[in-house]
Amino acid sequence: MKDFLDELDKELSLPEDIDVLDQTETEMEKENHAEIKPVKKEIVVIKNNRIMNDVIKAIPMSKKEGDSSTNKKVIVHNHNNNHNHNKTKVENNQIIGDDNIKKTSNNGEHEIRWKFISKFPDTKFYLPALRQGYTRYMPIWGNNETWAKNMWMVQYDEDIILIDCWVQFADPDMLGVNYSIPDVSFLTKYKKNIKGFLITHAHLDHIGSLKHVMPALWMPTLYATRFTLWLIKKIFEEAWLLSYANLIEVDSHTGQKIKIWKFSVEFFNVNHSVPDCAWIYLESEGGTKIVHTWDFKIDHTPAIDKPADLDRIESIWKRWISLFLSDSTWSTRKGFSMSEKNVWEELEKIVSNHTKWRLIIATFSSWISRIQQLVDICEKYDKTIFLSGRSMVENVAIAKELWYLNIKQGIVKKMTPKNTKGVAPHNQIIITTWSQWEEFSALTRMAEWKHNSVEVIKWDTVIFSSSIVPWNEKSVISIINKLIHLWANVITKDDWEVHTWGHAFQEEQKIFLQLVKPKYFMPIFWDLYFRTVHKNTAVDTGFNEENILMLDNGNMVDFAPNNGNVFKSRIKAPIQELVIDGFGMWLANSHVIQAREKMMNSWVLVISFKVDKKTKAILGHMKLESRGLVYLDEVRFIHRLIIKKARDVYENTVKDVPDIEEKDLLKIIRLDLEKFLLHRLDREPMIIPMVVEV
């Protein structure tokens, strides 16, 4: 490992403060690490006093039961690194610290400290009782949103399984907010009942909130495929959670079955825009059988993954599937999605014919197959790749370590002025991160000449090897305009086939419906319009419309035993959207967010009265401050009008009601001034009156 890291550091010029993979242990760390026991070469099972009992319970097919074939495919990851954490105060198991937060279980067996906020609001809601033998399914998030919100719950008896855990960068109307996360407040009452977290793939809209949610639920065992697990490890390491995580690697290609308490789980490999994407087959002891797809497409010629195993997927219809959930992202698009092979051919044409200045290719850092395509093309045409963006450097290093990327020495380097010396501009291929939600992504900094290594200049060519997320067109066009102002040549997927979506079109959706043949079907992911179109596609294939479930977030459906009928509960979980704002977690509809929106749209007026404490008479001049309300030429006139009106309102109110409470007085002043300014100026500022008694 150390030799590999040294070589990788040299090739990619990684900064010392970036932990791409596990650091070499110090002697002290080795003494405190769990005992490492090799099993049949392919697997390392890590024993310690915390996880082994859970692992044995969760996976009865372990070596303890003598199933060596299963043993070869299950890997338990657990890291007991010694970190220095600042202690924070905890009372009644509730977190009251801001930064390095601590949680202690009721029985005092373990404690967790982490860097990110994980205290969810209190709620009085309890899940309704589940009839014996029934299995419950509920979307926590994933329906009625546009993009990026994915989390689901399955319950049998008292056991709960969770699937995926989204994060979404703040919408434009969430002013000043970092990002939003799922509301799992009602689940905090069921920490002991949560038996596992299943993750379908490695995109942030499926794993991004784990650092907030997992500690709040006492770190349940997490199951994911290999590449997904490594990106989750990176998130946990940055949050100081890795040493407390029980991570189990699963193989989606072999039919490996995992027993998680009263559930049997199986992962199926499918194609998407990130390696190791999987469907999940989940069967409860009550006989309910669920196939959960999330993001997928059919690609017979993918770049690095194997094509989806359609024969294996077809075989599951013989199990009599109770519920099939399918991705509705591009349910509006007819035909089939484009293969990665087409993208490879287009990129090769561009690179092979590029002879003037640099080629800058913007893509998502998790799109490993796109990076492998560019590596192969650059090797063929004697080009050198330079990586820009921290997540790009880290993900490439992880993918190379896991053999998802095959890179010859010297082909890929980190983007620095030193590394580019001696390489002709037309032989430089710069692959840069491109996050449409972040104003500081590497491409954005290049377009604004704020990048520390790259300045876009005349004759550079910039390729957007990605798609525009709906509702974000304006910000993307703004970046394109900035690049054109710099005389760069811009290429998008509308000009060349330089990108393909990772989601199924209508014909692919029909194929999977016909392969699985479920009793009930539920279109998931995206808003009601896209899910309704998906529903109509299913009806066109002959599916019974009465057996199509259209649920909102928080709705619950209970399935009778042995593939029985479904019953929709009238009770709905009170799920709200939560936001992370600095070091705090708040409701998205908080008065703070509303106040920020009003200040942005309506400006601010602050008026201060200094009054005699006994007589209530105004003393001296009133003070007035406004922001964004009046223009320079009218400021004196308008301010005089406001002061006169405010004085009249105050004096008349105090005269009529001498013993009026201050809060009622301020409310009257604010409302009267709002009406006055709307009538005189047709403007509606946020008005903040203040009374200072002396």
Q: What is the pLDDT of residues 394-409, one digit of tens each?
A: 999 999 999 999 999 8
* Tokens at 64, concatenated: 């303890």
Q: What is the pLDDT of residues 106-144, one digit of tens each?
A: 443 344 444 567 788 888 999 999 999 999 999 998 787
Terminus-to-terminus CA distance in the chain, angstroms?
A: 72
At residue 548, what is the residue type?
Answer: I
pLDDT-derived band at 97, boundaries 50, 70, 90: very low
Average pLDDT over residues 515-535: 92
Q: In this structure, what DSSP letter does residue 428 have?
A: E
Q: Which residue has the tokens 């479930």?
A: 549
Helix (H, G, I), strand (E, B), or coil: what is residue 650?
helix
| Residue 403 burial (CB count, 10 A) | 9
Residue 666's pLDDT band (cuts 50, 70, 90): very high
Range scoring the smallest mean pLDDT among 12-16, 160-164, 169-173: 12-16
For 586-602, b where at least 16 C-beta lie within 10 A, e where not — what string?
bebebebbeebeeeeeb
Residue 671 CB neighbours (<10 A): 12
| Nearest Cα residue to 550 out of 571, 520, 579, 572 | 520
Q: Which of 149, 183, 186 is nearest to 167 (CA)?
A: 149
For residue 98, how far is the Cα from the chain centroid? Answer: 22
> Which of 70-74, 362-366, 428-432 ranks highest by mean pLDDT?
428-432
Residue 464 has pLDDT above 80, yes or no: yes
- More reliable by pLDDT, 540 or 306: 540
**Mean pLDDT across the chain:** 81
Q: How far apart are CA 418 and CA 13, in angstroms?
A: 10
Residue that has been written with the tokens 């009644």 in this structure: 92
- Per 3-state DSSP, the chain is made up of helix, strand and coil in percentages (nearest 5) of 30, 20, 45
Question: pLDDT of 592-649, one tens digit each?
Answer: 888 887 777 778 999 999 999 989 999 999 999 999 889 999 999 999 999 999 999 9
Residue 79 · residue 50 · CB < 8 Å: no
74 burial type by CB count under 10 A (0-12 exposed, 13-18 middle, 19+ buried):
buried
User: What is the per-residue pLDDT for 85?
Assistant: 34
Higher pLDDT, 51 or 332: 332
How far is Cα 114 from Cα 100, in angstroms, rounded to an integer? 5
Asked if pLDDT for residue 371 goes beyond 90, the answer is yes
Q: Which two tokens stand for residue 349?
A: 């044409």
Percent of the chain's residues with pLDDT above 90: 52
Name the strand (E) or helix (H) holding 598. Answer: helix 591-602
The yes-or-no verdict on residue 489 having pLDDT over 50 is yes
Predicted pLDDT at 538? 96
Q: To 5 degrees, how large is the angle CA 262–CA 263–CA 265? A: 155
| Residue 87 reports pLDDT greater than 90 | no
CB atoms within 10 A of CB 84: 6
Q: What phi and psi, each to the nearest 5 degrees, are found at residue 432?
A: -125, 155
**For the residues 413-425, what does the mean pLDDT come to?**
92
Assess whether pLDDT exceeds 70 at residue 520: yes
Q: Is the pLDDT of residue 14 over 50?
A: no
Q: At residue 18, does pLDDT exceed 50?
A: no
Band of residue 345 on the pLDDT scale cut at 50, 70, 90: very high
**What are the φ and ψ backbone dihedral angles of 206, each rounded to 5 degrees?**
-125, -15
User: What pLDDT shows up at residue 481?
Assistant: 93
pLDDT at 438: 56
Tokens 């801001």 -> residue: 98
pLDDT digits (tens, 9 = 90+) for 280-293: 999 999 999 999 98
pLDDT for the residue numbered 61 = 33
Q: Distance between CA atoms of 596 and 43, rounded to whole angstroms? A: 53
Half-sphere exposure of 317 toward its Cβ, with a 13 Å CA cutoff? 13
The kind and range of the H/E element at 35 are strand 35-39
Mean pLDDT, to the nearest integer, of 177-192?
Answer: 91
- Token pair of 461, please? 């060519």
Residue 16 has pLDDT above 60, yes or no: no
Burial of 57 (0-12, 13-18, 19+ CB in 10 A): middle
Question: Which structural domains are found in the chain, ordered by start?
Answer: 79-335+503-581 (3.60.15.10), 340-491 (3.40.50.10710), 603-693 (3.10.20.580)
Q: Classify strands 489-491 and 461-464 as parallel, antiparallel or unpaired.
A: parallel
> What is the C-alpha separation between 349 and 337, in angstroms, rounded?
21
Q: Give the pLDDT band of residue 59 (cuts 50, 70, 90).
A: very low
Query: What is the C-alpha separation between 455 and 415, in angstroms, rounded?
Result: 12
Q: Which two tokens stand for residue 133?
A: 């033998």
Instruction: Indicate if the pLDDT at residue 254 is higher than 70.
Output: yes
Any residues with CB less than 8 A from the CB of 286 and at least 6 apart, and which?
Answer: 133, 134, 135, 156, 559, 561, 562
Closest CA to 95 of 74, 65, 121: 121
Place of tokens 């915390």: 50
Question: Would you say residue 52 has pLDDT above 70?
Answer: no
The residue among 579 and 534 whose pLDDT is bigger is: 534
Give the C-alpha separation, 264 to 198, whole Å: 12
